[in-house]
Amino acid sequence: MSESEARPSNFIRQIIDADLASGKHSSVHTRFPPEPNGYLHIGHAKSICLNFGIAQDYQGQCNLRFDDTNPEKEDIEYVESIKNDVNWLGFEWSGEICYSSNYFDKLHGFAVELINKGLAYVDELSPEQMREYRGTLTEPGKHSPYRDRSVEENLALFEQMKNGEIEEGKMCLRAKIDMASPFMVMRDPVIYRVRFATHHQTGDKWCIYPMYDFTHCISDALEGITHSICTLEFQDNRRLYDWVLDNITIDCQPRQYEFSRLNLEYTVMSKRKLNQLVTENLVSGWDDPRMPTISGLRRRGFTSASIREFCKRIGVTKQDNTIEMSSLESCIRDDLNTNAPRAMAVLDPIKVVIENFGDTETLTVANHPNNPEMGERQIPFSREVYIEREDFREEANKKYKRLVLGKEVRLRGAYVIKAERIEKDAEGNITTIYCTYDSETLGKNPADGRKVKGVIHWVSAEAGLPAEFRLYDRLFTVPNPGAADDFVSTINPESLSVVKGFVEPALKEAVAERAFQFERTGYFCADSKDSTPEQLVFNRTVGLRDTWAKIAD
């Protein structure tokens, strides 16, 4: 495969190709700049794959930078989780981790430079007044009465803000741009505010903190970023990005490029809404397997390769669209179908007694039907086994290929059995199925030519291990919960079902993130928090087939 075929093409890569060809840049330097105020989600994975992928393909560099300008909402927990997520997705950042807080001294200096140039002023309007003065999309704003303060007065007041002599909310520093601009972001935006909050990196050194839009472009320039890639909601902010860099003394001036963010059906991507789900205990945490966070998907059993493949398939465009959940699930199915070993688990057990069977045998079964390199495993086969309750009927038509009273079926990797009689409780529920087995059918068809079409899975009742199975579904009942007046009201009450059954003994040491295909049931992995060899807990990653579309119809 040629290099051009190996690389996914998109408009950003075309821009980079042109910049390198023209000599505008001799190398490529990107960055992934999350704010450490929450866990990363699948939308961030798209940006990670884009920025780090470009750096890899062009033998360039990609920084991991925390845009940590709001200490009230940020936490070292989020910093660590983001580092782990980037590594888990398969990427390494260039050099040391960067923090915008590393540049606070320089940012302060640039703010002073703008004041000296008459391009920034200290304002005393209240937040409510500031909104009133800003105007609307159809009406221009009006100047603050503090806009024409002298440079000397602005410098003195800004110094008082820095020294902690001004209360929160009483003053802020604003850029002096254009209150009549058609772009609201250019109507004298706030670039510094007073916050008496301890910062996770700088402690209590500062009580003024720069705003994101002022910080972000300067951080890019200080790091020598060539292509600053962000999502479309920052398109208007590009004007402020360029204005700041045009009006300060700095050598590098990156360009910002925007692409469409990822919208995924049946979930929300807003950090605020995700945080609400966590803080109101509507989910078990940021890594709840129903969450679209990278840590939640990882705990559910999604592989990093499947997420990278998903990001590759959906591509990079300027077109806003919503991706079907089935697209993400298709990527993990394709991955696990090839790479997940097979195992047997019974989620809704009913006991089968094989009356003519003697002592326990040890059977050898392939770990993957199409991959001999995955090897084999030993499974105990005993007189009593569990099968799925849905795999038996007293009566059934010819389309039913499982166990029927008076008929035969094959147990996976074992013998052909025939259901002879059943036992029921007082309510009429079947409690036990009594069978006989054909001892000559291990690994071969019955000698007299009888055709047995059905194959069902099973677990030895004697050696099987009890396990809890968590069956996850979509977290919301509507495709676009974020558009609802109250998105919480659209939470799917059946997004998690917990059942108890049995697994084959080889799964006692199952480790988190090692997925298995439980035959005829789905793909599962041991829960990274709650599963132990003494109490196994398995999360269903995804079913074997996409049944949601049929249910939704």
Number of H helices, E strands in the chain: 14, 29
- Give the CA count within 13 Å in the CB-facing half-sphere of 384: 9
Look-up: residue for tokens 């059906």?
265
Q: What residues form the annotated binding site for L-glutamine?
A: 67, 212
Q: Which of 496, 512, 469, 482 is nearest to 283 (CA)?
A: 496
Query: What's the Cα-to-Cα distance from 398 to each of 394, 395, 401, 404, 543, rounded to whole Å?
Result: 13, 10, 7, 10, 25
Which residues does the annotation mark as catalytic?
35, 261, 271
- Distance, in Å, from the CA atom of 110 to the CA atom of 214, rounded to the nearest integer, reads 10
- Distance, in Å, from the CA atom of 440 to the CA atom of 434, rounded to the nearest integer, reads 19
Q: What residues form the annotated binding site?
A: 35-37, 41-47, 67, 212, 231, 261-262, 269-271
- Distance, in Å, from the CA atom of 502 to the CA atom of 458, rounded to the nearest integer, reads 9
Q: From start to end of 34-178, where are the E strands?
A: 61-66, 98-99, 120-123, 172-175
Look-up: residue for tokens 């001294």?
105
What secondary structure does DSSP assign to 376-394, as a single string?
A: EEEEEE-SEEEEEGGGEES
Q: Which of 127, 125, 121, 104 is nearest to 156 (CA)?
A: 121
Look-up: residue for tokens 């100047």?
143
Do residues 541 and 513 touch, judged by C-beta distance below 8 A? no
Query: What's the Cα-to-Cα distance from 462 to each of 385, 430, 503, rounded to whole Å?
Result: 7, 20, 11
Do residues 500 and 493 touch, judged by C-beta distance below 8 A? no
